[in-house]
Chain A
Amino acid sequence: MAEDRYTYLKMPEEYYYEFYSEGPKGIIKKIIRYRLIQEIPFKIYNLGFGDWDETESDVDDMVNTNNQDRQRVLATVADTVLDFLKSHPDVSVFARGSTTSRTRLYQMNISAFWKEISDASFIVKGYQNKEWKPFQKGINFEAFIIRKKI
């Protein structure tokens, strides 16, 4: 799927990415950051994503920016996941939204790019009904884990 994406800035040493959403609500700074949360038995990085709120000096992922660019934003986030894993092929990325609907957005993104994810040799599992299982479209998972095939 040749989805349009935003240009993002990245700082590899900080496992950090940012880009700007542009639309009717103005220019919104989007922050993406990967943080190591488990090392044993295998390294897992947690995906953090949201809008930068300058007044709060914090990130907010509960806000519904509604800048009419949701697919473009999701495609850009997906790009950073794949870029991060290509740069760190021996780790995995964990993703879970702050709310069920946010997690659903991650799921939609994975579904939308499933062919590319599979073709690029990534393995994805989702947590559902008390177990981790291979990702399938149409199932509402609670969280996701993705890694690159070695």
Chain B
Amino acid sequence: MGNIKNKKKTEKVVSTQDVGSVVKYANAPFFKKKDEEAITFLKKHPIPVDFWKN
């Protein structure tokens, strides 16, 4: 997907100064709700074991 040159232009690592903001974003209430919905979905519809077999 894209070439190496394109990949280098599209990726940067967040600096340590931004850690606090990142934690706020990553732990937004929306994500917690989505995770709970995903867990419920997967409990009802578990992934077959053969998905992890090559």
Contacts and interface: CB of A to CB of B under 8 A. Distances in A.
A94 B38 contact: yes
Instruction: Please classify how large the interface on chain B is, using the bins under 10, 10 to 19, 20 to 34, 35 or more.
Output: 35 or more
Contacts of B51: 92, 123, 125, 132, 145, 147
Interface residues of A, number: 55
A133 to B, nearest CB: 10
Contact of B30 (A60, A76, A78, A145): A60
Interface of B: 1-3, 6-7, 9-14, 18-19, 22-26, 28-31, 34-35, 37-39, 41-42, 45, 47-49, 51-52, 54
Given A6-B10, A16-B26, A57-B24, 5 more contacts: A11-B22, A14-B22, A33-B26, A113-B1, A147-B51
